[in-house]
């Protein structure tokens, strides 16, 4: 049998050497730029595929607005489909790109766009945004292809700038619907004990100490996501984390003394019993926050996603939940992470110019249309990306119902919108997702391991990033 | 002795399988091999017309990976420890199921249930068994709100609880959990195959043994195992092949970070490389893994040739 | 006299042997049941967990410390699961793909295993070795190539064909069935040849019945495949008309922030698994029926 198998291997090697020259289909664009034709979108019949991760409820909202959009552009057919979760959508689109079957519009995170960019499949939106070509809509009104200055200014700047985190000054995405991290706190407990809500990390340390004195059986603060924690701390303190420019190891800057001292500080917090994270606690820290029994571990503060507000509500109105922006290193220059879907436009060898134009019009509609933005926000609990959303009467009504009980979602969105100036997104490149995972892992171990060797943890994380990105 | 008619007929029978395999298995393998020998091959960039030099750089790159040995060790331990244990357990269960009369149907039904159990549920059960929740140290004493089922058992017998999968857990504890999971995961399939195999054994052998008053253990070693040997060889060989390709069960236990001690395996490396669009390195790793599995399978086949009675 | 004594003695001996044997056998039986009982509990646990999770409400499910019995049984999850997902169509799609691919796959497996186990042809060993070798390459890398083959070359995107054909040949099952076929004595085949029985008839009348338990196992495993595949169906079928159960369930119960409503999802899984389970119960008879009619050598 052995000889036979060796023979098989030789045969395979032989076939292989014949096939090596045979690669995939060459598609390729010189650049990601598009030229807007003189007539813009010319009203021709086109079909657009839109890939997203929406659940059933959000798809209802989307379907309604596709109808609205079709009143303006009846010849643009939008087919949309949910691709599963965040990991699924990136994997599937990357495969579809290789087969030149990618959707025209996709829900995306910057990390995903960085991989689509490797084949220049993403369209850079700069020419589209600046286009002044005027087109006529089916209801007789007119609009310009691009964005007006008014529209651009209406975007929350931190969200809008996410489109440019790719290191080449080009704009690849428009924000669709966003979430961030907020500080949930037990308002009832804070008021009873005369505690004030921390606005800086130094204040946070002091508050944690006080809470522990009041209730020694608790852990005052739960931080849900270790990777967000690391990245946000770097951004707030201006410590180098990653950069989108350069090649391979140039991208990764986090292996430095400033980051190490930051991590060491939180290790001290953990050892003092101030803080825990999801992986250390063993479950969502929202479960810790809503825990009502004082016999088991519980917390009075939780830094978690604004999108998950529903999970921070305790049973039976047991206490009032307060929501505040996360503490800052420098309150004069606040920084909070921006998360949630953006939209990118993809094109392949078979994509026509008119499809790109039609895709752009729909992306523009979804990101700038007040009715859609507000409805989507109140259904999803995510934030709208335009400032004018708050002027909308129905939406303002929804926001005004905000309270620390069953309308916590509205409260969270309200707080999130107030933090408008501080939003940031970390740079995106092929390998940026590795950096995110690695620093999260690093942080949880630096906190929890009995004899954590911080230098080694940093070195291992750095080596892994460099290896995977080069 | 080979008649030409039979030759012709054999190829006719094999034709559908060969045709489908050529298209859906051999062709992808050829592509894999071709990617493996192109330096730093990246499918996304290849679309842009980028070309690659032919060489063995990808293989060097895989071997250079800092965690390569760890991943290989994880994979090896997983196979060597779990395949024999799960095979022996499955054999005992199948034989026992086959030998009883009362409750036989009910018990068999239970051993089929894993097939209709969602994999998410299995992940949740492992969390309930091993996850320590709310761990803290108070005055030198370790406290937790929930130690998990396994620790509860350990503590019931006066032992000390262990952090199995938490952020401060040890490599040995992680490995133990993965092994338990793998054995558990493999059991239903092996029981099904062996139970099916047992039915093919002529009942006369057992009747004869009963008349002679042969002890159970002897019946097992002298009749059942030899007669079941083709199926045992099958579950062992495919068990090793499957074990070397293990990945998803570890994600099921530890999540994408693969736990505090990086319990990743060879296939995990392939996934990582694919996620950063390094199809060249991923292909090379797949071929290295193929080489390892091949050697192990050859050893298995050689051993089984001596032991298996058809 | 002496003779009589001897007989009674040996009688008594015989009696005491049988009692001790009986005690031994009862103890042995008890041991077997104990062992099976413990193993059954272990195997049963995930299933139990699935059922109780499907009866919890979301906030109880998300509690850090798991509860072993729902505080309040939520039958409503089942009602919601039934109404939310388009279970009927998902089920029919999956059933169709499952049944067609199982039938075709079993036929291909039988004739291929027969050729390897019974027929003589040049390069048999080599070909079988090649077949085994294909099992050893991790299939993660096949996805892209197969995707391009199926969607771009064969243009099977959005068809059931794309879900069925690429997975019809399974070397795992061919190998399994070959092992089983090899156990059937060659004399039967030669005798059949002398009688002038055709291969197909022999295969159908002798080999298949003798290997029935294994074939049933293969059927079960293949059917389960249709219930569990996820990545491939999503990739090649974008049209909802062809959606299979796993994809449908994954998408239906994801809430707005992207987190899955596990209790409802578990309820849905329980609903769609029930028919499958009944099929198992039905097929089990055939696995255990055995082939005691003899014919298989040892």
CA atoms within 13 A on the CB side of A188: 14
CB atoms C169 and B20 under 8 Å = yes
End-to-end CA distance of chain B: 22
Each residue's pLDDT tens digit, A157-199 = 999 999 999 989 899 999 999 999 999 999 999 999 999 999 9
CA torsion angle for C264, C270, C275, C277 (degrees, to 10)?
Answer: 170
End-to-end CA distance of chain C: 49
What is the rounded distance in angstroms from the CA atom of residue C202 to the CA atom of residue C184? 12
In a domain, B83, yes or no: yes
CB atoms C256 and A381 under 8 Å = yes
Burial letters A181-207, b for 16+ CB under 10 A, else e: bbbbbbbbbbeeeebebbbebeebbeb
Closest-CA residue of chain B to C123: B7
Q: Which among B182, B196, B227 is the top mutation candidate for probing chain C, defined by the most C β-carbons within 10 Å of its own β-carbon?
A: B196
CA neighbor of B280 nearest in space, from B36, B32, B57, B48: B36
Task: For residue C131, give its domain range.
Answer: 84-289
What average pLDDT score do residues B173-184 get?
90
Q: Where in chain A is the domain with CATH 3.40.190.10?
A: 46-178+339-391, 181-337+406-469
What is the rounded distance in angstroms from the CA atom of residue C245 to the CA atom of residue B13? 34
In a domain, B17, yes or no: no
Tokens of B149: 């089922």
Size of interface B-C (CB pairs under 8 A): 274
Q: Which residue has the higher pLDDT, B81 or B141?
A: B81
Largest Cα–Cα separation, chain C: 98
CB-based burial of residue C179 (10 Å sphere; 0-12 exposed, 13-18 middle, 19+ buried)?
buried
In a domain, C75, yes or no: no
pLDDT grade, residue B254 (50/70/90)? Answer: confident
Q: Enumerate residues 312 to 341 of chain A having a beta carbon within 8 A of any beta carbon in chain C.
A: 315
CB-based burial of residue A21 (10 Å sphere; 0-12 exposed, 13-18 middle, 19+ buried)?
exposed
CB atoms C224 and B115 under 8 Å = yes
In a domain, C64, yes or no: no
CB atoms B298 and A440 under 8 Å = no
> Is A72 within 8 Å of chain C by CB?
no
Q: Which among B50, B65, B134, B271 is the top mutation candidate for probing chain A, defined by the most A β-carbons within 10 Å of its own β-carbon?
A: B134
Enumerate the residues of chain A whose CB falls inside 8 A of the CB of residue B67.
Answer: 464
CB atoms A118 and B294 under 8 Å = no
Residue A200 scores a pLDDT above 70: yes
Angle at B97 between CA B95 and CA B102, to 5 degrees: 140
Each residue's pLDDT tens digit, A136-145 = 999 999 999 9
CA neighbor of C269 nearest in space, from C46, C4, C22: C46
Using CB atoms, pick whichever of C148, C234, C259 lies closest to residue A84.
C234
Ordered alpha helix ranges (H), chain B: 4-21, 27-36, 43-47, 57-64, 68-99, 104-112, 119-130, 149-156, 171-199, 203-212, 216-219, 225-244, 248-254, 266-275, 279-307
Enumerate the residues of chain A whose CB falls inside 8 A of the CB of residue C62.
Answer: 284, 286-287, 311
What average pLDDT score do residues A197-214 get?
96
pLDDT grade, residue A395 (50/70/90)? Answer: very high
How many angstroms away from the CA of A323 is the closest CA of chain B? 24
The H or E element containing residue A175 is strand A173-175
- What's domain A181-337+406-469's superfamily in CATH? Periplasmic binding protein-like II (3.40.190.10)
Using CB atoms, pick whichever of A25, A84, A308 lies closest to residue C257.
A308
The H or E element containing residue A275 is strand A275-277
| Count of other CB atoms within 10 angstroms of residue B65 | 19
CA torsion angle for B108, B112, B114, B117 (degrees, to 10)?
Answer: -120
How many angstroms away from the CA of A298 is the closest CA of chain B? 8
> Is C2 within 8 Å of chain A by CB?
no
CA neighbor of B291 nearest in space, from B244, B239, B255: B244
Q: How many helices (H) and strands (E) would you count in chain C?
A: 15, 0
> Is B272 within 8 Å of chain A by CB?
yes
Each residue's pLDDT tens digit, A321-341 = 999 999 999 999 999 999 999
How many angstroms away from the CA of A297 is the closest CA of chain B? 6
Using CB atoms, pick whichever of C46, C165, C262 lies closest to residue B125.
C46
CA neighbor of C172 nearest in space, from A131, B274, B192, A9: B192
Map tokens 């070359």 to a residue: C153
> Is A178 within 8 Å of chain C by CB?
no
What is the rounded distance in angstroms from the CA atom of residue B294 to the CA atom of residue A8? 12
What is the rounded distance in angstroms from the CA atom of residue A448 to the CA atom of residue B168? 6
How many angstroms away from the CA of A220 is the closest CA of chain B? 13
Q: Enumerate residues 138 to 177 of chain B having a beta carbon within 8 A of any beta carbon in chain A.
A: 145-146, 166-168
What average pLDDT score do residues A429-444 get?
93
CA neighbor of C70 nearest in space, from C78, C81, C82, C58: C58
Closest-CA residue of chain B to C227: B116
What is the rounded distance in angstroms from the CA atom of residue C269 to the CA atom of residue C276? 11
CA neighbor of A40 nearest in space, from A367, A343, A377, A358: A358
Each residue's pLDDT tens digit, B204-237 = 777 888 788 788 788 888 888 888 898 999 999 9
> Is A23 within 8 Å of chain C by CB?
no
> Is C81 within 8 Å of chain A by CB?
no
**CATH assignment at residue B191:** 1.10.3720.10
What average pLDDT score do residues A384-401 get?
91
Map tokens 């083959």 to a residue: C149
Angle at A278 between CA A428 and CA A230, to 5 degrees: 35
How many angstroms away from the CA of B58 is the closest CA of chain C? 15
Q: Which among A99, A106, A348 is the top mutation candidate for probing chain C, defined by the most C β-carbons within 10 Å of its own β-carbon?
A: A99
Boundary (domain end) residue, out of C54, C71, C97: C54
Say whether both C23 and C92 belong to one domain: no
In a domain, B218, yes or no: yes
Neighbours of chain A (3+ CB pairs under 8 A): B, C
pLDDT of amino acid A28? 58
Closest-CA residue of chain A to B61: A467
* CA distances to A173, A352, A364, C238 from A79, in Å: 20, 16, 17, 10
What is the rounded distance in angstroms from the CA atom of residue A3 to the CA atom of residue A1? 6
What is the rounded distance in angstroms from the CA atom of residue B241 to the CA atom of residue A296? 45
Say whether both C110 and C211 belong to one domain: yes
CB atoms A433 and B275 under 8 Å = yes
Sign (positive or negative) of CA dihedral A129, A131, A132, A135:
negative
The H or E element containing residue A322 is strand A321-325
Provide the β-strand partners of residue A49.
A79
CA neighbor of C110 nearest in space, from C204, C213, C188, C196: C204
Largest Cα–Cα separation, chain A: 82
What is the rounded distance in angstroms from the CA atom of residue B188 to the CA atom of residue B97? 13
pLDDT of amino acid C298? 39
What is the rounded distance in angstroms from the CA atom of residue A397 to the CA atom of residue C18? 88
> Is C255 within 8 Å of chain A by CB?
yes
- One pLDDT digit (tens) per residue for chain C, 298 residues: 444 444 454 555 555 667 777 787 788 888 889 999 999 988 888 888 888 888 888 778 777 777 788 888 888 888 887 777 677 888 889 889 999 999 999 999 999 999 999 888 888 888 988 888 888 888 888 988 999 999 988 989 889 999 999 999 999 999 999 988 988 888 878 888 888 888 888 888 888 888 888 898 898 888 888 777 778 888 898 888 888 887 777 766 665 555 667 788 888 888 878 887 888 788 877 766 654 444 444 3
Tokens of A38: 């003189």
Percent of chain A with pLDDT over 70: 94
Angle at A438 between CA B67 and CA A325, to 5 degrees: 170
Please provide the average confidence, as pLDDT, over all residues in chain B.
Answer: 86
Neighbours of chain C (3+ CB pairs under 8 A): A, B
Query: What is the DSSP track for B47-113?
Result: HTT----BSSHHHHHHHH-TTHHHHHHHHHHHHHHHHHHHHHHHHHHHHHHHH--TTHHHHHHHHHG
CA neighbor of C189 nearest in space, from C208, C202, C204, C205: C202
pLDDT grade, residue A27 (50/70/90)? Answer: low
Tokens of A86: 């965040």
CA atoms within 13 A on the CB side of B24: 22
Say whether both C32 and C146 belong to one domain: no
How many angstroms away from the CA of A85 is the closest CA of chain C? 7
Each residue's pLDDT tens digit, A47-100 = 999 999 888 788 999 999 999 999 999 999 999 988 887 878 998 999 999 889
pLDDT of amino acid C269? 81
**CATH assignment at residue C211:** 1.10.3720.10
Burial letters A133-167, b for 16+ CB under 10 A, else e: bebeeeeeeebebbbeeebeebbbebbbbbbbbbb
Q: Which among B57, B149, B272, B275 is the top mutation candidate for probing chain A, defined by the most A β-carbons within 10 Å of its own β-carbon?
A: B275
What is the rounded distance in angstroms from the CA atom of residue B206 to the CA atom of residue B201? 9
In a domain, B200, yes or no: yes
Using CB atoms, pick whichever of C147, C157, C256 lies closest to residue A55.
C256
Q: Number of folded domains in chain B?
A: 1
The H or E element containing residue A160 is helix A157-160
What average pLDDT score do residues A376-384 get?
91
CB atoms B136 and A219 under 8 Å = yes
In a domain, B85, yes or no: yes
Say whether both C50 and C89 belong to one domain: no
Residue B245 scores a pLDDT above 70: yes
Enumerate the residues of chain C whose CB falls inside 8 A of the CB of residue B204.
Answer: 294
The H or E element containing residue A81 is strand A76-82
How many angstroms away from the CA of C1 is the closest CA of chain B? 32
- Residue B309 near residue B223, CB atoms below 8 Å: no
Each residue's pLDDT tens digit, B261-281 = 888 999 999 999 998 889 999
What is the rounded distance in angstroms from the CA atom of residue B130 to the CA atom of residue B163? 8
Q: Which among B121, B135, B186, B286 is the top mutation candidate for probing chain C, defined by the most C β-carbons within 10 Å of its own β-carbon?
A: B121
Say whether both C46 and C93 belong to one domain: no
CB atoms A84 and C125 under 8 Å = no
Say whether both C91 and C37 belong to one domain: no
| Count of other CB atoms within 10 angstroms of residue C82 | 14
End-to-end CA distance of chain A: 40
Query: What is the DSSP track for A354-383?
Result: HHHHHHHHHHHHHHH-HHHHHHHHHHHSPB
Say whether both C92 and C239 belong to one domain: yes
Q: Which residue has the higher pLDDT, C21 or A308?
A: A308
Closest-CA residue of chain A to B54: A20
pLDDT grade, residue A24 (50/70/90)? Answer: very low
Tokens of C271: 């609903």
Using CB atoms, pick whichever of C235, C238, C254 lies closest to residue A95.
C235
Say whether both C99 and C37 belong to one domain: no
Q: Which residue has the higher pLDDT, A83 or B142?
A: A83
Tokens of A291: 């825990």
What is the rounded distance in angstroms from the CA atom of residue A223 to the CA atom of residue A204? 13
Say whether both C116 and C8 belong to one domain: no
> Is A74 within 8 Å of chain C by CB?
no
> Is C129 within 8 Å of chain A by CB?
yes
Each residue's pLDDT tens digit, A107-148 = 999 999 999 999 999 999 999 999 999 999 999 999 999 999
- Residue A325 near residue A40, CB atoms below 8 Å: no
Each residue's pLDDT tens digit, A336-369 = 999 999 999 999 988 999 999 999 999 999 999 9
Largest Cα–Cα separation, chain B: 84
CA neighbor of A25 nearest in space, from C209, C21, C151, C200: C151
Residues in CB range of C251: below 8 A, 6 or more apart:
A55, A56, A82, A84
CB atoms B245 and C138 under 8 Å = yes
How many angstroms away from the CA of A240 is the closest CA of chain B? 22
- Residue A239 near residue A262, CB atoms below 8 Å: yes
CB atoms B260 and A444 under 8 Å = yes
CATH topology of domain A46-178+339-391: D-Maltodextrin-Binding Protein; domain 2 (3.40.190)
Q: What is the pTM of this model?
A: 0.88
Closest-CA residue of chain A to B145: A296
- Residue C265 near residue C184, CB atoms below 8 Å: no
The H or E element containing residue A343 is strand A342-345
Task: For residue B264, give its domain range.
Answer: 64-101+170-310
Enumerate the residues of chain C whose CB falls inside 8 A of the CB of residue A91.
Answer: 231
Closest-CA residue of chain B to A349: B47
């Amino acid at each position: 049998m052995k000889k036979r198998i060796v023979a098989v291997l030789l045969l395979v090697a032989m076939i292989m050497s014949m096939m090596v020259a045979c690669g995939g289909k060459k598609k390729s664009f010189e650049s990601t730029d598009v030229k807007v034709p003189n007539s813009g979108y010319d009203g021709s019949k086109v079909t657009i595929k839109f890939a997203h991760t929406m659940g059933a409820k959000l798809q209802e909202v989307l379907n309604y607005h596709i109808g609205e959009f079709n009143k303006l552009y009846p010849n643009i057919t939008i087919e949309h489909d949910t691709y599963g979760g965040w990991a699924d959508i990136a994997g599937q689109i990357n495969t579809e790109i290789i087969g030149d079957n990618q959707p025209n519009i996709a829900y995306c995170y910057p990390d995903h766009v960085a991989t689509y960019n490797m084949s220049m499949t993403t369209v850079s939106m700069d020419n589209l945004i600046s286009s002044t070509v005027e087109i006529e809509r089916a209801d007789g009104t007119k609009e310009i292809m691009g964005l007006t200055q008014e529209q651009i200014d209406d975007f929350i700047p931190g969200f809008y700038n996410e489109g440019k985190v790719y290191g080449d000054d080009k704009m690849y995405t428009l924000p669709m619907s966003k979430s961030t991290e907020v500080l949930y706190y037990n308002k009832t407990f804070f008021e009873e004990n005369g505690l004030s809500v921390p606005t800086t990390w130094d204040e946070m340390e002091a508050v944690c100490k006080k809470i522990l004195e009041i209730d020694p059986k608790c852990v005052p603060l739960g931080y849900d996501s270790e990777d967000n924690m690391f990245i946000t701390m770097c951004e707030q303190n201006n410590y180098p984390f990653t950069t989108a420019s350069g090649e391979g190891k140039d991208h990764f800057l986090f292996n430095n003394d400033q980051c190490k001292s930051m991590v060491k500080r939180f290790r001290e917090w953990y050892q003092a019993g101030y803080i825990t994270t999801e992986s250390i606690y063993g479950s969502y820290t929202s479960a810790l926050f809503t825990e009502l029994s004082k016999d088991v571990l519980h917390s009075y503060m939780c830094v978690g996603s604004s999108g998950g507000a529903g999970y921070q509500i305790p049973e039976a109105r047991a206490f009032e939940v307060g929501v505040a922006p996360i503490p800052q290193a420098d309150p004069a220059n606040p920084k909070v992470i921006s998360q949630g879907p953006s939209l990118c436009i993809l094109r392949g060898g078979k994509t026509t110019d008119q499809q790109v134009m039609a895709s752009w019009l729909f992306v523009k509609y979804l990101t700038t249309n007040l009715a859609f933005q507000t409805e989507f926000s109140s259904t999803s609990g995510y934030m709208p990306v335009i400032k004018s959303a708050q002027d909308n009467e129905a939406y303002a009504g929804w926001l005004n119902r905000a309270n620390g009980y069953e309308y916590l979602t509205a409260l969270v969105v309200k707080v999130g919108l107030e933090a408008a100036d501080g939003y940031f997104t970390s740079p995106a490149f092929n390998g940026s997702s590795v950096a995110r995972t690695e620093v999260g892992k690093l942080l949880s171990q630096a906190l929890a391991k009995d004899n954590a060797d911080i230098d080694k943890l940093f070195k291992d994380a750095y080596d892994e990033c460099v290896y995977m990105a080069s | 002795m080979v008649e030409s008619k039979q030759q012709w007929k054999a190829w006719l029978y094999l034709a559908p399988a060969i045709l489908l395999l050529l298209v859906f298995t051999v062709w992808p393998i050829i592509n894999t091999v071709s990617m493996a020998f192109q330096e730093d091959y990246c499918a996304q960039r290849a679309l842009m017309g980028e070309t690659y030099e032919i060489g063995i750089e990808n293989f060097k790159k895989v071997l250079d990976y800092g965690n390569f040995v760890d991943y290989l060790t994880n994979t090896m331990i997983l196979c060597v420890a779990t395949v024999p244990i799960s095979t022996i357990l499955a054999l005992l269960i199948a034989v026992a199921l086959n030998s009883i009369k009362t409750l036989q149907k009910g018990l068999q039904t239970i051993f089929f249930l894993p097939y209709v159990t969602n994999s998410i549920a299995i992940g949740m059960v492992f969390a309930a068994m091993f996850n320590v929740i709310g761990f803290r140290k108070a005055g030198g004493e370790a406290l937790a709100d929930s130690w998990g089922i396994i620790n509860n058992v350990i503590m019931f017998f006066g032992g000390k609880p262990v952090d199995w999968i938490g952020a401060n857990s040890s490599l040995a504890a992680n490995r133990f959990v993965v092994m338990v999971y793998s054995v558990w995961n493999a059991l239903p399939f092996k029981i099904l195959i062996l139970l099916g195999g047992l039915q093919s054994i002529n009942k006369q052998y057992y009747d004869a043994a009963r008349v002679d008053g042969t002890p159970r253990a002897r019946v097992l070693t002298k009749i059942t195992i030899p007669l079941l040997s083709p199926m045992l060889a099958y579950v062992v060989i495919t068990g090793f092949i499957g074990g070397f390709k293990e990945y998803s069960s570890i994600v099921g236990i530890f999540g994408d970070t693969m736990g505090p001690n990086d319990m990743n395996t060879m296939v995990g490396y392939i996934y990582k490389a694919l996620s950063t669009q390094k199809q060249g390195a991923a292909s090379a790793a797949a071929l290295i893994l193929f080489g390892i599995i091949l050697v192990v399978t050859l050893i298995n086949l050689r051993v089984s040739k001596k032991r298996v009675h058809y | 006299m002496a003779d009589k004594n001897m007989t009674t003695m040996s009688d008594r001996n015989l009696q005491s042997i049988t009692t001790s044997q009986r005690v031994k056998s009862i103890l042995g039986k008890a041991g077997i049941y104990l062992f099976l009982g413990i193993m059954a509990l272990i195997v049963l646990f995930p299933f139990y967990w699935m059922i109780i999770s499907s009866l919890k409400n979301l906030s109880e499910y998300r509690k850090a410390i798991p509860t072993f019995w729902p505080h309040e049984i939520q039958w409503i999850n089942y009602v919601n699961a039934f109404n939310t997902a388009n279970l009927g169509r998902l089920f029919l799609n999956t059933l169709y793909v499952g049944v067609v691919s199982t039938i075709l796959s079993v036929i291909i497996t039988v004739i291929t295993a027969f050729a390897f186990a019974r027929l003589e042809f040049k390069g048999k060993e080599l070909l079988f070795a090649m077949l085994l070798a294909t099992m050893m390459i991790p299939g993660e890398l096949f996805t892209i190539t197969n995707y391009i083959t199926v969607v771009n070359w064969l243009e099977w995107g959005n068809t059931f064909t794309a879900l069925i054909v690429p997975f019809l040949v399974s070397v795992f099952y061919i190998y399994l069935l070959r092992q089983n076929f090899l156990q059937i004595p060659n004399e039967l085949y030669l005798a059949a040849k002398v009688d002038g029985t055709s291969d197909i008839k022999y295969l159908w009348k002798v080999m298949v019945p003798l290997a029935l338990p294994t074939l049933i196992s293969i059927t079960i495993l293949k059917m389960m495949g249709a219930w569990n595949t996820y990545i491939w169906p999503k990739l090649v079928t974008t049209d909802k008309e062809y959606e299979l159960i796993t994809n449908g369930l994954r998408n239906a119960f994801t809430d707005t922030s992207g987190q899955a409503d596990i209790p409802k999802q578990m309820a849905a899984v329980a609903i769609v698994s029930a028919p499958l389970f009944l099929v198992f119960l039905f097929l089990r008879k055939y696995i255990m029926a055995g082939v005691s009619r003899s014919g298989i050598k040892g």
